[in-house]
Amino acid sequence: MQYASLAQQGETAQLGMWVFIATEVLFFGALLFAYFICRLSYPEQFALAGRDSKILLGAINTVILLTSSLTMIAAIELVKRGRRHAERLLLLTALLGVCFLGVKGYEYVQDFQDATVPALNFLLKPGYHPPAEIFWIFYFVATGFHAVHLTIGIAILLIMAEMTRRGRFSPGYYAPVETLGLYWSLVDAIWLLLFAAIYPLGRAAS
Amino acid sequence: MSAITADLPPSYLTHEFTLRSWLLSTDHKRIALLFFASITFFFFVGGFAATLIRLHLINPSTHLLQPDTYNRMFTMHGIVMVWFFLIPSIPTTLGNFLIPLMLGARDLAFPRLNLGSWYLFNVSGLLAIYFLVAGGVDTGWTFYTPFSTLFSNGHVIAAAVAVFVNGFSSIATGLNFVVTIHRLRAPGLTWFRLPLFVWAIYATSVIMLLATPVLAMTLALVAVERWLGVGVFDPSLGGDPLLFQHMFWFYSHPAVYIMILPAMGVVSELVTCFARRPVFGYSGMTYAMIAIAVIGFFVWGHHMFVAGISTFSAIVFSLMSFVVAVPSAIKVFNWTATLHRGSISFEAPMLYALGFIGLFTIGGLTGLMLATLDIDIHVTDTYFVIAHFHYIMVGGTVSAFFGGLHFWWPKITGRLYSEACARGAAILTFLGFNLTFFPQFILGYLGMPRRSYTYPPDFQVWNVLSSAGASILAVAYLMPLFYFAWSAFRGERAGPNPWRATGLEWRTSSPPPERNFERTPVVTCPPYQYDPVDGSYVAQDGVANA
């Protein structure tokens, strides 16, 4: 039967997002699987290449994204309780997302200056062998797809903030914000996995 | 349109007539028909390529197609038939139309997502048409690296993007079905009262959700490698082409079950209705479908027995492939046992269903031969493999699709078709199919490689037989276009339940009203309460012989 109540509709939306998250786990899971298989074949080369990745920038971004999850959850709580100005926390979350993209862009520029961008200006330094380039292909594909997800999240955050400002949500109906929160946590969790795989594990000696 | 519906009661077909009311409809029934139009188009595109291939292969020395064109034709046939017809076929049309009706719901859980899925499908379809018109792809539907990434002359990136976008349509549809089946069942409709078609679509959706993202990532890596000229599958960098095969088949073997499970669901409905007996071993049927969905994820390596995987992993994959045959065999035995002591009648849908059982059995048994390591090494990449999977996908899935279409046509349109024409088409399908593909088993066993541009003269007789069968099959597939078109305009009114079947979809008018049911049905019975002695039945809401 179709929705008898807003609560049932909200729970259904959440279930839909959980199922979507399962597909995303497989999407990024396939990439991480391929990454670890290749890392297993060329541990020294991956460690060499991984040490050229910018771990400080990666760590800053991890802090930014974790903070944004905190503001996201706080925003949901405010909307749930019907407080005014909940949209400000949503906008703050979006701003932190933009900061992440800014840092990431700066990191890409640094990567370019280090001549580690495959096909564009990749340079094999002394002691490096071709498999090192494979590390960087994974790096750009993984962070690129993550950035696309984050950008979509920021766009939806802005829409939700505007809807909140117009009073479209209430303690009885806030399912879209809560569902967005799930998506934002997914983007956050994927980053944690990518961060661990690329920066600390990337530079670990075999 | 108004001519079709002139003398019908108000329904989802008649409540509005504008183009906008179709293209922006969120009604699952209208979206099912939109999908039906799209996939029918692609069925004939893929069929056109198959026609050229079979015409070309009639004679080994006079070549109809240039070698390069020939490669593009079998690639086009594969890509279009797999992603633009077989995978969406039953779920997006019959599934979309029937799942809410069988559940007693007004619509799917996310109606707008459902419409979005159709648009995504068409965007991917336009991309597919683009790469076909621009000159096609010559890699085969499997996109094996490094040929596809570094050497092929075709439009590989466009094809990869088309399949990538197509995957989102698949995921959206699968997600919608899973959530709907969990959340929107009518009161009293417990999991073990669900019709087997619903179980089949559920199992299919789970595979779609868990396998498709892996294909998406794999093709993204292929597209990146093709675009940049360097990539993770590139052996000159130390990349691993076998890794591509693993990732590709991790999706593409379960994809076979995406194609066959819905067909099994359809056939279960048809066999029980026309044998007037409850399905034999209902709960076994549900567990078998879930088992197929789960085990199907662990057999992909049997596509790679000669690719250079270790003997140990080849043995494990061989064993798992035998294991997945067990639940498939359970289903065949259960359909057969359902027929036993039934009161069988041979309407057109039943003819398709019985054809399915026979052809699926042959396809399945030859699958066991291929799962055997030493036979597989002998017949790898020969026509034996081609014949095997066409028995499953065409003999199995397409037969069931046609059977289901005939069975639910009166529900979809409110009208009956010419039974004589339909029976003729069903019998022609069976005969034409066997004449097309049985000779290919022999060809393959004698050693004719697949995708081969020409062949030794000794093989000509089998190739001519196969092409002759294909022409019969083409007629059998075109016939329904005509009598269905006639039925849509002139067919006799069907009434709500022409087959005297038990599902909730038959407890509303034909065609159903916009909101499916006057009031939400309450389920009190398990499905398939048929009595073979007097042919009577009890519908799922407890009404007898309604």
Q: Which residues of B touch A16 (CB under 8 A)?
A: 109-110, 113, 175, 179
| Cβ partners under 8 Å of residue B502, min gap 6 | B273, B525, B527, B528, B529, B530, B537, B538, B539, B540
Q: Which residues of B touch A130 (CB under 8 A)?
A: 236-238
pLDDT at A142 over 50: yes
Cβ contact A131–B231 (<8 Å): no
The mean pLDDT value for B187-195 works out to 96
Nearest CA of chain A to the CA of B168: how many Å? 10
Q: Which residues of A touch B179 (CB under 8 A)?
A: 12, 15-16, 19
The mean pLDDT value for B21-33 works out to 96
Q: Which residues of A touch B171 (CB under 8 A)?
A: 20, 23
Q: Does B236 touch chain A (CB under 8 A)?
A: yes
Mapped onto helix, strand or coil, the DSSP state of residue A29 is: helix
DSSP code string of B87-107: HHHHIIIIIHHHHHHHHT-SS
pLDDT at B80 over 50: yes
Please, how many CA atoms are within 13 Å of residue A86, restricted to the half-sphere of its CB?
29
The mean pLDDT value for B525-532 works out to 95
Q: Does A119 touch chain B (CB under 8 A)?
A: yes
Digit-coded pLDDT (tens) for A143-180 = 999 999 999 999 999 999 999 999 999 988 899 999 99
| Cβ partners under 8 Å of residue A182, min gap 6 | A14, A17, A18, A21
The mean pLDDT value for B387-391 works out to 97
Only one residue has tokens 């040490």, namely A51
pLDDT at A129 over 60: yes
The mean pLDDT value for B291-300 works out to 97
In the A/B pair of chains, how many CB contacts fall below 8 A?
Answer: 106
Cβ contact A27–B213 (<8 Å): yes
Q: Which of the following CATH numbers is that of domain A6-203: 1.20.120.80, 3.30.70.330, 2.40.30.10, 3.40.30.10?
A: 1.20.120.80
Give me the sign of the Cα torsion angle B53, B59, B61, B64: negative
Selected residues 355-414 of chain B with any CB under 8 Å from a CB in chain A: none
Q: Does B178 touch chain A (CB under 8 A)?
A: yes
Q: Which residues of B touch A30 (CB under 8 A)?
A: 213-214, 217-218, 247, 250
Q: Does B212 touch chain A (CB under 8 A)?
A: yes
The mean pLDDT value for A62-72 works out to 97
Confidence of residue B3 (pLDDT cuts 50, 70, 90): low
Tell me what percent of the residues of chain B surpass a pLDDT of 70. 98
Mapped onto helix, strand or coil, the DSSP state of residue B537 is: strand
- What is the reported pLDDT for B1? 46
Digit-coded pLDDT (tens) for B89-116 = 999 999 999 999 999 999 999 999 999 9
Confidence of residue B4 (pLDDT cuts 50, 70, 90): low
The interface predicted TM-score of the complex, written ipTM, equals: 0.94
pLDDT at B156 over 60: yes
pLDDT at B337 over 50: yes
The mean pLDDT value for B408-419 works out to 96
- What is the reported pLDDT for B10? 84
Q: Does B106 touch chain A (CB under 8 A)?
A: yes
pLDDT at B50 over 60: yes
Minimal Cβ distance to A19: which of B175, B185, B217: B175
Q: Does A114 touch chain B (CB under 8 A)?
A: no
Confidence of residue A111 (pLDDT cuts 50, 70, 90): very high
Minimal Cβ distance to B187: which of A1, A24, A145: A1
Print burial letters for B167-205: b (CB count within 10 Å at least 16), e (below 16): bbbbbbbbbbbbbbbebbbbeebeeebbbbbbbbbbbbb
Please, how many CA atoms are within 13 Å of residue A171, restricted to the half-sphere of its CB?
4
- What is the reported pLDDT for B15? 85
The mean pLDDT value for B200-206 works out to 98
- What is the reported pLDDT for A202? 81
- What is the reported pLDDT for B5? 52
pLDDT at B531 over 60: yes
pLDDT at B122 over 80: yes
**Helix axes B460-490 and B399-413, enclosed angle (nearest 10):** 10
Q: Which residues of A touch B224 (CB under 8 A)?
A: 137, 141
The mean pLDDT value for B408-431 works out to 97
Q: What's the mean per-residue pLDDT of chain B?
A: 95
The mean pLDDT value for B405-415 works out to 96
pLDDT at A4 over 80: no
Q: How far apart are CA B487 and CA B405, in angstroms?
A: 13
Nearest CA of chain B to the CA of A30: how many Å? 6
Q: What is the DSSP letter of B459?
A: G
Q: How far apart are CA B21 and CA A182, in angstroms?
A: 33
Q: Which residues of B touch A20 (CB under 8 A)?
A: 171, 175
Q: Does B138 touch chain A (CB under 8 A)?
A: no
Superfamily holding B2-538: Cytochrome c oxidase-like, subunit I domain (1.20.210.10)
Q: Testing the interface with A: which of B232, B246, B247 to mutate, by most A Cβ within 10 A?
A: B232
The mean pLDDT value for B307-319 works out to 95
Cβ contact B179–A133 (<8 Å): no
> Which residue pairs from B231-236 have beta carbons closer than 8 angstroms and sit at least 24 positions apart in sequence?
B231/A137, B231/B149, B232/A34, B232/A38, B232/A134, B232/A137, B232/A138, B233/B145, B233/B146, B233/B149, B234/B145, B234/B146, B234/B149, B234/B150, B235/B146, B236/A130
Confidence of residue A2 (pLDDT cuts 50, 70, 90): low
Q: Does A131 touch chain B (CB under 8 A)?
A: yes
Q: What's the mean per-residue pLDDT of chain A?
A: 93
- What is the reported pLDDT for A119? 87
- What is the reported pLDDT for B215? 97
Q: Does B157 touch chain A (CB under 8 A)?
A: no
Q: Which residues of A touch B107 (CB under 8 A)?
A: 2
- What is the reported pLDDT for B421? 97
Output the pTM of the full model. Answer: 0.95
Q: How far apart are CA B103 and CA A29, in angstroms?
A: 34
pLDDT at A206 over 70: no
Nearest CA of chain A to the CA of B482: how many Å? 37
- What is the reported pLDDT for B142? 95
Neighbours of B300 (CB within 10 A): 22
